[in-house]
Amino acid sequence: MIDRRRFLATTAAAAGLAALPGCRALEHLGIPITVLRPGMEAGHALRGGAPLPTAQREIRTGVAILGSGIAGLSAAWRLAKEGHDDYLLVEGPEPFGNAAGGRFDSPSGPLAFPRGAHYLPLPSVESTPVRELLHELGVIEADPFGPRPRFSEAALVHAPDERLYFAGTWRDGLLPTAHVGTDEAAQHARFLAETARLTRATGADGRRAFCVPLALSSTDPAFRRLDGVTFRAWLAAEGYTSPSLHTYLDYVCRDEYGATPDKVSAWAGLHYFASRGGQAANAADGSLLTWPDGLAFLARGLAARVPAARQLAGHALAVAADRQGVSILCTTADGPARIRARRTICAMPLHVAARVIGNIRDYGFDPAAHLPPQAPWLVASLLLEGFPPEPADAPLAWDNVIAGSRGLGWVVSTHQLIRAARPAHTVFTAYRALADQTPQDARAWLATAPAEALFELAADELRSHYGPLEMWRRTRAVEITLRGHGMAVPACGSLANPGLAALRETDGRLLFAHSDLSGYSVFEEAAWWGDRAGRKVLG
């Protein structure tokens, strides 16, 4: 009877497939997975000490900006805005850095998604470059430098903004205070009251205790001493024992810093809460701004203000400064070139700068001692046909987090669209910081892991929440971005790191601009250092 069965199966399957338009179904048996490892090849060539090529041509410019992440773009934006046109932005191996975005060409049209950072909190009063940029891009509609600017509703995260899967069901918000016992709820309240107090606190120098940009935070030792203990140790010392609070803070630290509270300093752990003082005329405190492709919207906005002739595709291999200027050996589309610049803004991550600038120790930065630990990240975007089912009383939010999971949840790229019908396709972008092993081990695994294993890890939360079959039948394509050196981790001593302090103050032929200078990775810090380097050049 075997043959009869097989016959029945094939004919029935053929009838089923014929009912589908165009027999697309066969491709669905395997979901196409693309893996991107931005900067890895170029970075490993530098690390491996590959022989340097000989320059075939020379490019002269006033200011070379090396790197097109937010710091490099902000520096170029500042120069362009002030009418300085003798500069060249060398894109580097990772255009847009952690603010990169991607695009799927779905059957119902193109869909943008983030390949890295996906939101911006309401900028603090002190984040003047960010506010200036947002005003230029129409995201701030009025009063850009006042205490409460008015923000474009299109960019404010639309309701429902976030939900937490806790104790078997979805809840509003990410801290489940209303769903835990009274003792735990009291600890939540005490923690939030403490961070609210710290948000308003100022040090003996009159500066805010915790500020974005970090450079404007108080240097009062009363707060700085928090840089010497881990966040977990501080929580224990302060009597915070609530498991749900710890779960939440573990999530926050991995989401913000790529590391767990036992690795992150107490100063950094509290900074996340107490530095967010930004307010809006038309949104609640703590609101967020987002776009379908995350912060790539802002990166594109910056890049659009830099003339194409001032941008060069390629990356620096060696940088040397002398009394005459800076000499940069650099790859370009037309072969290796030597850029001779009067001044150079190194807007690359410090682990790359340490390889490219042979004498970086002369600037007060010893990579062996001063390079912050770096967290490996994995960002996976899934192009879905339709949406998986959701409970009627807890619809899909922009950010969806599973309490206690090792993943960091997923954001929905079509959330901000205004549409009469739900889009036929959407993109879920799932985040994961590989915070449970040493960064070295995680990077070694990421460098060689097969696409299927990476997908397995990246889609782990989605598959266990919605069911593997549901995800398989909806997923049309997957793109995974690996960031082995995703972000600097603000470990204990990060604030007092003398190497970072030295690079921040550098003001010679060579200038440094990168969020690494702050010891942690957020848009506002990168924009701050980029803007500052641009201003130093302008004098």
Q: What is the DSSP track for 79-134?
A: HHHTT---EEEE--SSTTGGG-EEEEEETTEEEEEESS--EEEPPPTT-HHHHHHH
Answer for the pair 99, 70: CB distance below 8 angstroms, yes or no: yes
Q: What is the DSSP letter of 437?
A: S
- How many residues bind other proteins (CB under 8 A)? The answer is 42
- Cβ neighbours for 320, distance < 8 A, ≥ 6 positions apart: 326, 327, 357, 358, 359
Stretch that binds other proteins, among 131-139, 149-157, 449-457, 490-498 (CB under 8 A): 149-157
**How far is CA 57 from each of CA 11, 308, 343, 468, 501, rounded to the nearest angstrom?**
66, 20, 19, 54, 36
Distance from C-alpha of 253 to C-alpha of 166, rounded to nearest angstrom: 19
* Residue 30 near other proteins by CB under 8 A: no
Stretch that binds other proteins, among 7-15, 54-62, 325-333, 493-501 (CB under 8 A): 7-15
Give the residue with the Cβ less far from other proteins, 188 or 276: 276
* Residue 137 near other proteins by CB under 8 A: no
| Least separation in angstroms between CB 293 and other proteins | 16
Give the residue with the Cβ less far from other proteins, 16 or 147: 16
| Least separation in angstroms between CB 158 and other proteins | 4
Give the residue with the Cβ less far from other proteins, 11 or 437: 11
Give the residue with the Cβ less far from other proteins, 247 or 287: 287
* Residue 142 near other proteins by CB under 8 A: no
What is the phi-psi region of residue 38: left when phi exceeds 0, alpha when psi lies from -120 to 50, beta otherwise? beta
**Binding residues among 260-319 for other proteins as defined by CB under 8 A:** 282-284, 287
Distance from C-alpha of 508 to C-alpha of 323, rounded to nearest angstrom: 10
Give the residue with the Cβ less far from other proteins, 55 or 157: 157
x/- track of binding to other proteins for residues 466-505 (CB under 8 A): ---x---x--------------------------------
| Least separation in angstroms between CB 399 and other proteins | 13
**How far is CA 169 from each of CA 63, 96, 393, 396, 402, rounded to the nearest angstrom?**
55, 37, 10, 13, 10
* Residue 368 near other proteins by CB under 8 A: no
Minimal CA–CA distance to 138: which of 297, 324, 351, 272? Answer: 297
Give the residue with the Cβ less far from other proteins, 157 or 274: 157
**Binding residues among 384-403 for other proteins as defined by CB under 8 A:** 395
Give the residue with the Cβ less far from other proteins, 78 or 276: 276
- Cβ neighbours for 162, distance < 8 A, ≥ 6 positions apart: 172, 173, 174, 397, 398, 399, 400, 401
**Binding residues among 413-432 for other proteins as defined by CB under 8 A:** 417-422, 424
Out of 71, 140, 156, 252, the only residue in the binding site for other proteins (CB under 8 A) is: 156
- Cβ neighbours for 113, distance < 8 A, ≥ 6 positions apart: 101, 102, 103, 104, 292, 293, 294, 381, 413, 427, 429, 479
* Residue 14 near other proteins by CB under 8 A: yes
As given in the structure block, the two tokens for residue 515 are 């969020």
Give the residue with the Cβ less far from other proteins, 110 or 239: 110
Out of 5, 30, 83, 110, the only residue in the binding site for other proteins (CB under 8 A) is: 5
| Least separation in angstroms between CB 384 and other proteins | 13
Out of 31, 70, 157, 198, the only residue in the binding site for other proteins (CB under 8 A) is: 157
| Least separation in angstroms between CB 453 and other proteins | 25
Minimal CA–CA distance to 252: which of 193, 195, 301, 326? Answer: 195
Out of 20, 189, 447, 453, the only residue in the binding site for other proteins (CB under 8 A) is: 20
The torsion defined by the Cα of 176, 488, 75 and 328, in degrees rounded to 10, comes to -160
Distance from C-alpha of 149 to C-alpha of 375, rounded to nearest angstrom: 34
Judged by the rule CB under 8 A, the positions of this chain that interact with other proteins are 1, 3-5, 7-9, 11-20, 25, 28, 152-154, 156-161, 282-284, 287, 395, 417-422, 424, 469, 473
